[in-house]
């Protein structure tokens, strides 16, 4: 299975993701030109086995949606490579060759997909085209396929958190400006920058949510400081690499890290705002999602369920 595949004709996506404490699902439909509508969300605690997956799929009416599965951090690698000058049908083979010394496992054991990073169309000299390459172990992809097959669920695509976060960011961009977004989770933080609906930057920051919510204020602020430093470094690097993209602001995804917005606002040179998912989605069918804690739990699954187009030819 390719990580990204053509969609079928069903309306809306149901995204399922494995969290440390259980299985999360979110179903979204797009209603014309209005806000995407959250049709339902669900969480089942415990091990994500076939029975649990089948149960959550039934609760969220999986047969009515295109179905995606969101890989967790550590189950794939996202790398940036120069785009090979080859025919489209030879692209993945060429990228596979370039990745052979970049992966932490043998390239023959990898499922690989790619997507472009847009270049400055107004540049006087055509810049080198770069692209993101996503690589996951065949054993991981195979295990997830078998899990869905045993649950009797028709898996359409396997997706990654960076693209899920990009999907939300793309709906909040100011025209002509880039948007940085930061989410925090148990295994660390994720920074993305999108522009024109495209992903330009994705970076993991090794600061876990546990540190950002620690009862000891000094330790908590130490985590805040590490986040601020890495954000500043990343945004400075982005500005040098993509000088044609002006980043308007940094949006913080919903999280229980109280005080992070104020801290970053005081220590970064760009505007920092807190995201409320009610500004992205129609939550009328799931009013419980007004709760910030639930928004945090379902954030990436909702982003994955925003998928509405084929990423690759």
pLDDT tens, 85-116? Answer: 888 888 888 999 999 889 999 999 999 999 99
Whether the per-residue pLDDT at 11 is higher than 90: the answer is no
Tens digits of per-residue pLDDT, 196-250? 999 999 999 999 999 999 999 999 999 999 999 999 999 999 999 999 999 989 9
**What's the chain's average pLDDT?**
92
Tell me: the pLDDT tens digits for 237-258? 999 999 999 998 999 999 999 9
* Tens of pLDDT, residues 126-144: 777 899 999 999 999 999 9
Report the pLDDT value the prediction gives residue 184, as an integer from 0 to 100: 97
Percentage with pLDDT > 90 across the chain:
81
The pLDDT assigned to 10 comes to 73
Least reliable range by pLDDT among 25-34, 124-133, 183-192: 124-133
* pLDDT of the residue at 152: 97
Among 20-29, 56-65, 122-131, which is the least confidently predicted range? Answer: 122-131
Beta strands 22-30; 77-82: pairing state: unpaired
Task: Considering only residues 306 and 47, tell me which one the structure prediction assigns the higher pLDDT.
Answer: 306
| Residue 27 confidence (pLDDT) | 98
pLDDT score of 9: 55
Query: Are 270 and 246 within 8 A, CB to CB?
Result: no
| Residue 129, pLDDT score | 87
pTM of the model: 0.93
Residue 47 pLDDT greater than 80, yes or no: yes
Q: What is the pLDDT of residue 7?
A: 46
- Identify which has the larger pLDDT, 27 or 2: 27
């Amino acid at each position: 299975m390719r990580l990204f595949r053509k969609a079928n004709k069903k309306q809306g996506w149901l995204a399922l993701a494995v969290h440390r404490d259980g299985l999360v699902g979110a179903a979204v439909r797009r209603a014309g030109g209005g806000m995407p509508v959250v049709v339902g969300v669900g969480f089942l605690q415990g091990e994500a086995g076939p029975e649990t997956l089948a149960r959550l799929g039934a609760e969220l009416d999986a047969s009515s949606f295109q179905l995606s599965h969101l890989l967790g951090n550590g189950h794939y690698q996202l790398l940036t490579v120069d785009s090979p000058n080859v025919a489209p049908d030879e692209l993945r083979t060429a990228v596979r060759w370039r990745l052979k010394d970049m992966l932490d496992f043998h390239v023959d054991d990898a499922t690989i997909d790619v997507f472009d990073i847009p270049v400055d169309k107004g540049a006087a000299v055509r810049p080198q085209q770069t692209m993101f390459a996503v690589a996951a172990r065949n054993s991981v992809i195979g295990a997830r396929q078998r899990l869905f097959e045993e649950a009797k669920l028709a898996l359409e695509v396997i997706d990654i958190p960076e693209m899920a976060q990009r999907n939300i960011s793309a709906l909040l961009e100011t025209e002509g400006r880039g948007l940085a977004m930061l989410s925090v989770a148990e295994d660390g933080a994720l920074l993305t920058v999108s522009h024109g609906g495209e992903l330009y930057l994705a970076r993991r920051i090794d600061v876990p949510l546990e540190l950002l919510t620690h009862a000891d204020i000094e330790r908590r602020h130490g985590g805040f400081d590490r986040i601020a430093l890495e954000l500043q470094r990343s945004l400075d690097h982005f500005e040098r690499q993509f000088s044609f993209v002006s980043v308007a602001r940094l949006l913080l995804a919903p999280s229980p890290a109280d005080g992070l917005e104020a801290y970053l606002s005081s220590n970064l040179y760009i505007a920092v705002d807190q995201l409320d998912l009610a500004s992205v989605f129609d939550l009328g069918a799931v009013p419980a999602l007004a709760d910030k804690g639930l928004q945090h739990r379902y954030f990436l699954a909702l982003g994955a369920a925003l998928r509405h187009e084929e990423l690759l030819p």
